[in-house]
A and B are shown apart, each in its own frame.
Chain A
Amino acid sequence: MFRASPRGLLDFVATALCLWAAAWHTPVGALGRGVVAKVSGATSSARPLLAYFSGGVYDAREVELPRLEPMPGPEAPLPGAAPVSAGDALGHGVYAVLSRPGTTSRAEALGARYGLGPPDSPLAVATLVARARDELGSDEAAVLALFVGPEVAGYATARARAEGAAPTLEVLARQLPPGRSSALEAASQALMFGTAFGLSWPVAPGTRITSPFGLRAHPTLGRQQLHTGVDLSVPEGTPVKVVAAGVVRRASEDAVNGKVVIVDHGRGVTTAYCHNSRLLVTAGQHVEAGQAVSVSGNTGRSTGPHLHYQLELGRRPVDPLRFRGRGGAVGGLVPASPGPRLPEPATGRRALEEAFERAGRPPEDTEVPP
């Protein structure tokens, strides 16, 4: 038993703050709101309980893929891929989200603030993101600024850094008040797409695709089944190069996928490489873009030597060819560093050379398109 205070205003205010925080930011509160809604016959606005662990970003919901040019059919070789900088790839990703009907953003206001034109093309968006990155210090904050404004993104970045945390979107999201879920969702999809557009290819561009992504009759089981990646026809012993920097999430073997490597690239992007003959990395290891992570083979449930390459966005498998447009619009080798800086964005080989100077040159055997 505690001694009662005859007064209660301060205690009531403290209690109200705690109840507000618990009701809106914890699964326990969501359960409570659900019960109250059920009793009162109202509709609860609480999120699903498991969504309270994602911060509302890179969530495992269905990802609405950006519209791109038609992908090559089965047996068709991949188009030649021109190099694209990380900045340009991010511009493509953000543009894909901005151009969706119904998306509200502050991109135009941000462009006007920097004296730039309307964000009506991937290049214009890339320029805008680069300017915001110069001001805010990270791609995540720059993209967030397009949807919540630069002041709020700058505030979230400053507070994240004060906590000693890297300003990832998850960390920035924790610094924002409630009611920003649609902006965070848009920013996280833009970053996911931007990262996916910047991925290189695990084997030589032009490698034949023997089985595309999508429903197919399984070659050994016979039944219709979703093929969650693309099968690339490579002879056994071909080095498999990771398509972007990341952390190895899994390096294991089973009788279905064979020797498999899964790499987490951050921003909700994961890639998997299956049916290898040898693994060159271990779980938890950090890998750089272009680093060989395995040697291709014919292990597991496989009818011949090939590499099964799988791309996952928001923990859903998606067609990796959707992020490699025709005519070299996107795809190819990606410098693992910020893209071109304003005011004079470099292009083509010069951009690549500058990026190599900043981030280091890839190993000699990495493919560099002409």
Chain B
Amino acid sequence: MHSVEPTGRLAQVSGLFGLFRWGFMPLGLFALVSVGVHAAADVIDEHLLTLVDGLDAWADARLAAFEATAAWVDRVGPFERTVVARALALAWELAVAVLVAAPQLGYRELNEVERRLSWVKDAWRAPWLRLLRAPTPARLLRPAVTAVFAAGGAYALARLVEATLFVTLQSDVASPPVAEAVARGGGWVALALVVGRLGWRAVLRALEHADAACEAALKRAAPAWPVGLVGAVVALPLAVALVLQSQALLALVR
């Protein structure tokens, strides 16, 4: 990753912020993946409502067959069905946030001194080699779903930045075409910044976490393949739902 190093006063300010990377970097990674997970959950809530509708129809047919339970049929109306569907979407989102986003809070960095003393030189190299040598569901799927959620989160954030800039600028500062051009530029910058500074770290951190869990299982003489299987099964449908919406990304170039 090449970047233009800031100079002078800006470098000092940047250096000052660098002292606190241990605090804000894990939070940033967690937030990025969480935004992506919510974007995915927002896609599936309507499908869940259809599912709940079907289940309610099935349950109504059975409950109505008995006098004692017939009164329950009218207890679940459209409002309750919607609440149940959204509650399921929320529970699913929170579960994925715990399984996929929360490990991002374990992100750690080595400073130069620690790095020289440590035998670990690159975070990704050893897990990557183990992924190639002994792939497991966790090693394969955790980085993949994290990449999808990070991309979804980055896009949602870019859209938010763009809309905020447009609405702010067009009212008093600039004409709508100028405001739109500036906002599009702002959205692109936000997207590039988040993907370039956080996105890839989130994916590698997911690989690192999955690899560590697999290695821990092997040390206990347990098989590595079931590690993280539940998390993968829970997160995969949301990631797939987000991928199916990826045509929205074309808006970046339209």
Contacts and interface: CB of A to CB of B under 8 A. Distances in A.
Interface of A: 1-23, 25-29, 49-50, 52-55, 60, 151-152, 154-156, 159, 162-165, 174-178, 221, 228, 249-250, 252-257, 262, 270, 283, 300-301, 312, 315-317
Interface string B85-114: 011011001100100010000011111101
Interface stretch (B134-142, B197-205, B215-223, B226-234): B197-205
A175 B27 contact: no
* Residue picked from B45, B65, B122, B197, most chain A C-beta under 10 Å: B197
A154 B109 CA distance: 45
B194 A18 contact: yes
Interface in B111-168: 111-112, 114-115, 118, 120, 122-123, 153, 156-157, 159-164, 166-168
Contacts of A52: 38, 42, 90
A182 B109 CA distance: 44
Contact of B193 (A17, A29, A165, A255): A17
B191 to A, nearest CB: 10
Nearest to B32: A18
Contact of B110 (A3, A10, A20): A3
Given A18-B153, A252-B60, 10 more contacts: A5-B18, A18-B198, A25-B38, A26-B38, A28-B37, A29-B31, A50-B87, A53-B89, A151-B170, A164-B250
Which secondary structure dominates chain A's binding surface? mixed
Nearest to A7: B14
Interface of B: 3, 5-6, 10-11, 13-21, 24-25, 27-32, 34-35, 37-38, 41-42, 45, 50, 53-54, 57-58, 60-61, 63-65, 70-71, 73-74, 77-79, 81-83, 86-87, 89-90, 93-94, 97, 101, 107-112, 114-115, 118, 120, 122-123, 153, 156-157, 159-164, 166-168, 170, 176, 180, 190, 193-194, 197-198, 201, 204-205, 247-248, 250-251, 254
Given A10-B197, A175-B163, A176-B167, A19 B70 contact: no
Contact of A8 (B18, B90, B161, B247): B18
A155 B176 contact: yes
Contacts of B108: 1-2
B208 to A, nearest CB: 8
Contact of A14 (B111, B159, B198): B198
B247 A53 contact: no
A7 B78 contact: no
Contacts of A29: 31, 34
B70 A1 contact: no
B82 A60 contact: yes
A15 to B, nearest CB: 3
Contacts of B201: 2
Contact of A250 (B57, B94, B110): B57
Nearest to B199: A14
Nearest to B254: A162
A53 B41 contact: yes
Given A11-B17, A177-B160, A1 B110 contact: yes
10 contacts: A1-B114, A4-B18, A10-B193, A14-B194, A15-B27, A22-B32, A159-B162, A159-B163, A162-B250, A177-B163
Contacts of A15: 24-25, 27-28, 31, 198
A174 B17 contact: no
A7 B78 CA distance: 53
Contact of A252 (B57, B94, B194): B57
A205 to B, nearest CB: 26
Given A53-B45, A53-B86, A7 B107 contact: no
Contact of B86 (A11, A28, A50, A312): A50
9 closest A-B pairs (Cβ-Cβ)? A15-B28, A255-B64, A8-B17, A8-B18, A4-B109, A9-B14, A7-B14, A22-B31, A162-B251
Contacts of A163: 247-248, 250-251
A60 B79 CA distance: 6
Contacts of A174: 159
A1 to B, nearest CB: 5
Contacts of A2: 107-110, 123, 201, 204-205
A3 B123 contact: yes
Nearest to A284: B50
A42 B53 CA distance: 39
Contacts of A8: 14-21, 24
Contacts of A12: 17, 20, 24
B6 A254 contact: no
Contacts of A11: 17, 21, 24-25, 28, 197-198
A276 to B, nearest CB: 14
A165 B6 CA distance: 41
A14 B250 contact: no
Contacts of B205: 2
B248 A164 contact: yes
